[in-house]
Structure 1
Amino acid sequence: MDLIWRPLTLDDAPAMAELVAITEKVEPTGEHYDAADLRELLSSPNVDLAGASTSAWDGEQLVASGVVIRRGSADPAHMVRLEALTHPDYRDDALGEHLVSWFAESAKRVHEKAFPGAPLDLHAAAHEDQRWFAGTLERAGFRHLRSFVDMRADLADLPPARPLPPGLEPVPYSGRHDELARLARNAVFAGHWGSAQLTPEMWRHQVSDSKDFRPDLSFLLLSPAGDEVVAFVLSSYFASDEAVTGIRELYVSDVGTRESLRGRGIASALLGYTLEKAKKQGFERSALNVDVDNAQRALGIYEGCGYRTVQTWEGYVLPVT
């Protein structure tokens, strides 16, 4: 099979959206991306399309793609993220080996530009039904080190929200909170497995300037002096999901409380407050993703807010020397 391999461009977003839809029919993950979603992903400041993306074409048909995404820090290692798509009809050992070999070489080049001398780990995720990709990673030496679950909550059947402690009043997110929220997120997730620091540029792309971010349904708790975010819930709404499912779903991307305030039920209370607000705005469901071994016992917090596990993603890692 003679495929043409070349870097991706922003103009390839519609072809990628078509490939996503094809793979979703075979391996349903519940994730639906349109061209605008993929164009935003490819426009990330952490993506070098010309030097760290690839795609395979059979004539005018996109049949595979790969993107290497650098991270904002290398502590304890630079955990480069790998994203791949492969058409079900083109999956064989040769294509899989080509893809993972390209990932390794491209990640090394990205790493040497960003964090020369630091350890390098390649991180990839496979949905529980994506067995071909998981097998491809395992044959290349990747090890399954972590499991993550997607959880959903029916907003029509929420448990009663816990009250926030006296003196802590939620405020909706606004642009003036950008840096305080970024610093709080980085502090809360420091040391979490697979997490890296978000730079101001990446924060704007991924959070505050994202087309899907919902500042009106993202809430912060501020310190008495107003100079620090002490807890937060950040949310997004993906119109492309509703276009396919017909369900208006709020995606909760980040929930966190600074260490000094943990153990007081603040995360549960703020998340419950957010879900009640979302329900009043016509949202029917909420979703999130969480590490099952999260050190702050987040799984139990989310279950207490009405979330239930619906599917699993496996995290694979390959250290590169």
Structure 2
Amino acid sequence: MSDTLAERIAAAGLDASGPAVPRHPDIAEWRAPTRADIDAIHAVTAAADRVDHPTWVTPREDVADTFDLPEIDHARDSILAVGHDGRVVAVGTSLRHPDASVRIKAYLQGAVHPDRRRRGIGAQLGRWLHARALQQLADTGSTLPGELDLYAQDGNDGAVVIAEALGLRTARWFTTMVRDNAQPVRESSPPEGIRLVAYAPDRSDDARLARNDAFRDHWGSLPTPPERWQQFVGGPFFRPDLSTLALEPDGRIVAFCLASVNEDDWASLGASNSYIDLIGVVRDHRGRGLAPRVIARTLQAMTDAGLEKAVLDVDTDSPTGANTLYEGLGFVATERERVLTAEF
């Protein structure tokens, strides 16, 4: 592509000059958030979570972490809606992915408190986020492809209507799958020369590079930069003892299964559980049966730790046939989430 994103956005009849302050009779003030708003943001997000995906709730730590991410400028990228009673009732952020090597991507993330829905607040929030995301893409001056993404849980029809009104269309579905760890884990030895070990902190960047290689051909995936990776593996929920690395004799990481535990989700799911965040095999080692082996080791570690369930999310059109793999390991589909996308 030779024309810039700004030119392509303009050619589509869209304005990338930036968002105007929304207006709504139920909202006394629209403003940018500060660190002092972390609890208020989390309160809205958690209330929305309990309606939109009742088996898990966004941790407060995840909200707080956004104020330390270099790619988010809350003064420009985020907005709060404050009701006449002084309570925050809606929140939103347009997050541009920090990697710009392949495409320029922004995520529209927002929530309206369930007791303030169906009043048009979400539509106003969505228009603001869309305008800010277009501005973020245009301001890069890049000629790379551009993309806007919005994730909506199956059943969250309001979010879908808002996204479609902004020109986004459903591009992909992801499925949540749950496994009862009372099922025995099938034992199998790794291929000759491969060792399965627990994750070790001194392998952090090696694991990041393995993740970036493994996910290069996965839909929607972009490389994870060191800062964002460290926030994940150095965070309060990541569990090195449950996570697995597959190593070649020279120590190179060729496969991984990384897991976390958030005890706040246990009541929502009705059982103690661990979430499998990432499963991958570097591309020159695919077809050797490494994925089921690293998963099996992690599942056994969960069982040994007394965790009743394992949870993961999978792209329904995964190029590696992950759905079939997970079903064979005892995972059962429970919920679905769609990704609505606009490309430029």
Could you state the TM-score of these two structures normalised by the residue count of structure 2? Answer: 0.86
Aligned sequence identity (%): 30
Amino acid at match of 1:44: L
Once the two structures are TM-superposed, the CA of residue 78 in structure 1 deviates from its matched residue by 1.4
Q: Which runs of 5+ in 2 are unaligned?
A: 1-24
Q: What is the rounded CA distance, in whole Å, between the counterparts of 1:26 and 1:221 in structure 2?
A: 38
Q: What is the rounded CA distance, in whole Å, between the counterparts of 1:161 and 1:106 in structure 2?
A: 50
Q: Which among 42, 56, 61 is matched to residue 17 of structure 1?
A: 42
Once the two structures are TM-superposed, the CA of residue 21 in structure 1 deviates from its matched residue by 3.5
Contact 2:243 2:257 in 1 (8 A): yes
Contact 1:78 1:115 in 2 (8 A): no
Matched, 1:47 2:79: no
Match of 2:111 in 1: 85
Once the two structures are TM-superposed, the CA of residue 38 in structure 1 deviates from its matched residue by 2.0
Q: CA deviation digits over 1:73-130, x for unaligned, max 9?
A: 2354212122111123333474333222212222234335556333321111100021
Contact 2:185 2:300 in 1 (8 A): no
Q: What is the rounded CA distance, in whole Å, between the counterparts of 1:135 and 1:310 in structure 2?
A: 23
Contact 1:47 1:69 in 2 (8 A): yes
Amino acid at match of 2:328: G
Amino acid at match of 1:108: L
Cα 1:159–1:223 change in 2 (3 A) is closer
Amino acid at match of 1:22: A
Output aligned runs, 1:108-123, within 5 Å: 108-112=134-138, 116-123=142-149
Q: Which among 122, 137, 144 is matched to residue 96 of structure 1?
A: 122
Amino acid at match of 2:271: I
Q: What is the rounded CA distance, in whole Å, between the counterparts of 2:227 and 2:200 in structure 1?
A: 17
Cα 1:196–1:115 change in 2 (3 A) is farther
Output aligned runs, 1:113-262, within 5 Å: 116-205=142-231, 207-226=232-251, 228-242=252-266, 244-245=268-269, 247-262=271-286
Q: What is the rounded CA distance, in whole Å, between the counterparts of 2:41 and 2:103 in structure 1?
A: 30
Contact 1:155 1:286 in 2 (8 A): yes
Q: What is the rounded CA distance, in whole Å, between the counterparts of 1:278 and 1:78 in structure 2?
A: 37
- Bigger radius of gyration, 1 or 2? 2
Contact 1:74 1:119 in 2 (8 A): no
Q: What is the rounded CA distance, in whole Å, between the counterparts of 2:36 and 2:120 in structure 1?
A: 27
Cα 1:271–1:107 change in 2 (3 A) is same
Match of 1:296 in 2: 320
Q: What is the rounded CA distance, in whole Å, between the counterparts of 1:48 and 1:293 in structure 2?
A: 34
Contact 2:185 2:299 in 1 (8 A): no
Cα 1:102–1:243 change in 2 (3 A) is same
Cα 1:97–1:232 change in 2 (3 A) is same
Cα 1:201–1:308 change in 2 (3 A) is same
Match of 2:98 in 1: 72
Match of 1:306 in 2: 330
Match of 1:31 in 2: 56
> Equivalent residue of 2:241, what SS?
helix
Q: What is the rounded CA distance, in whole Å, between the counterparts of 2:158 and 2:195 in structure 1?
A: 48
Once the two structures are TM-superposed, the CA of residue 6 in structure 1 deviates from its matched residue by 0.9
Amino acid at match of 1:216: D
Contact 1:123 1:317 in 2 (8 A): yes
Contact 1:159 1:306 in 2 (8 A): no
> Equivalent residue of 2:338, what SS?
strand
Q: CA deviation digits over 1:42-73, x for unaligned, max 9?
A: 43333221211111010322111111222132
Could you state the TM-score of these two structures normalised by the residue count of structure 1? Answer: 0.92
Cα 1:36–1:202 change in 2 (3 A) is closer
Q: Which runs of 5+ in 1 are unaligned?
A: none
Amino acid at match of 1:40: D
Once the two structures are TM-superposed, the CA of residue 181 in structure 1 deviates from its matched residue by 0.7
Match of 2:6 in 1: none
Q: What is the rounded CA distance, in whole Å, between the counterparts of 1:181 and 1:113 in structure 2?
A: 32
Match of 1:7 in 2: 32
Once the two structures are TM-superposed, the CA of residue 260 in structure 1 deviates from its matched residue by 2.0
Amino acid at match of 2:70: P
> Equivalent residue of 1:217, what SS?
coil
Cα 1:89–1:246 change in 2 (3 A) is closer
Query: Deviating runs (4+, > 4 A) in structure 1?
Result: 112-115, 243-246
> Equivalent residue of 1:215, what SS?
coil
Match of 2:288 in 1: 264
